[in-house]
Amino acid sequence: DIQMTQSPSSLSASVGDTVTITCQASQDITISLNWFQQKPGKAPKLLIYDASNLETGVPSRFSGSGSGTDFTFTISSLQPEDIATFYCQQSDNLPPTFGGGTKVEIK
Amino acid sequence: VLLQESGPGLVKPSQTLSLTCTVSGGSITSHYWSWIRQTPGKGLEWIGYLSYSGSTNYNPSLTSRVTMSLDTSKNHFSLKLTSVTAADTAIYYCARGKASPDYWGQGTLVTVSS
C-alpha cells in the first residue's frame, strides 16, 4: 500500500492567516491526490481532487498543488468555519490510502 | 445525492457486520460505490468499492472477510464483514466513487462487543 505522510499533525493559526499543510506519498502518484475536510461528528468532505482542482462550491481560499510524491494544501485566509481536520488521500493505486490528518485550530 | 447508512450499532465478536447504504436523489446504476471506515487508531481506511454492474474490489487487508453487493430495485448497496473482532469497531461510511468519493453518508458507529 502507498503510505501518505501528512504534516503537521496539528496547527493553531489566527483568523486571516495563511495555513499550509504538506502531504508526502511513499511513491510517485502523479497528480492522483485528494484533500478532504472533516468537521467534528461529520463525514469527510471532498475539497480538492487531482491535486489542484477545486470541487464545485468549495471557496477559492482553498487550494492545492504538487505532483509526484510531494503535495501542498493551502488555506489563504483562515476563517472560523474552517476549523476541522484535513486529510490527504491518494487515488492512484488500490487500495486508496489516507494521510493521518492535520487538525486546524484557531489561535 | 444523499446517502444513508443503516444497520445494527452493536455486533458480537465472531459474528457478521451487515450494513446497508440507501441512495436518494440519484441512481445507483450510474456510479461506483464505496465503503470506508474510521477509527481513532487507524484513521480512515478504505474497505472497498463496487460498480454499477456489481463488480467489486476490496482492500487486500480485508478481502477474505468482505462482501459487497447492490440491489438496484431498492437503490441501495450493502456491506458484510464476517468474523468481526474489537478491531472492527469503527464509524462506517458509504460514499459515491471508487477512489475519489465525492458524496458521503453521515456515518454509522458499529461497536463490536459481547
Taking the CA of residue B106 and the nearest CA in chain A, the distance in Å comes to: 5
Give the model's pLDDT for residue A34.
98
- For residue A3, the surrounding DSSP H or E stretch is none
Contacts of A26 (CB under 8 A, 6+ apart): A2, A3, A4, A5, A69
**Residue A11 contacts by C-beta under 8 Å, 6 or more apart in sequence?**
A19, A21, A102, A103, A104, A105
- Binary contact (A46, B57; C-beta < 8 A): no
pLDDT of residue B48: 97
Pairing, β A102-106 against β A10-13: parallel
Q: What is the pLDDT of residue B54?
A: 85
Which residues on chain A are in Cβ contact (under 8 Å) with B101? 46
What is the tally of helices (H) and strands (E) in chain B?
0, 11
The owner of cell 462506517 is B92
CA–CA–CA angle B57, B60, B65 (5° rounding): 85
Judged by CB atoms within 8 Å, which residues 44-63 of A form the interface with B?
44-46, 49, 55
With a cut of 90, say whether residue B40 has pLDDT above it: no
Residue A49 confidence (pLDDT) above 90: yes
| Plot region of A68 (φ>0 → left; ψ -120 to 50 → alpha; else → beta) | left
Question: Across the interface, which of A34, A91, A98 has its CB nearest the CB of B43?
Answer: A98
Chain B contacts of A94, Cβ < 8 Å? 57, 99
Average pLDDT over every residue of A9-37: 98
Average pLDDT over every residue of B33-37 = 97
Half-sphere exposure in the Cβ direction for B15 (13 Å, CA): 14
CA distances from A78 to A11, B53, B56, B93 (A): 12, 43, 40, 28
With contacts defined as CB-CB under 8 Å, which chain B residues touch A64?
none
Answer whether residue B44 shows pLDDT above 90. yes
Q: Which residues of B touch A55 (CB under 8 A)?
A: 102
Quick check: B41 pLDDT over 90? Answer: no
Contact yes or no for B106 and A55 at CB 8 A: no
Kindly state whether A98 is in contact with chain B, defined as any CB-CB distance less than 8 angstroms.
yes
pLDDT at position B84: 98
Overall average pLDDT of the A22-35 stretch: 98
Q: Do B100 and A45 touch (CB under 8 A)?
A: no
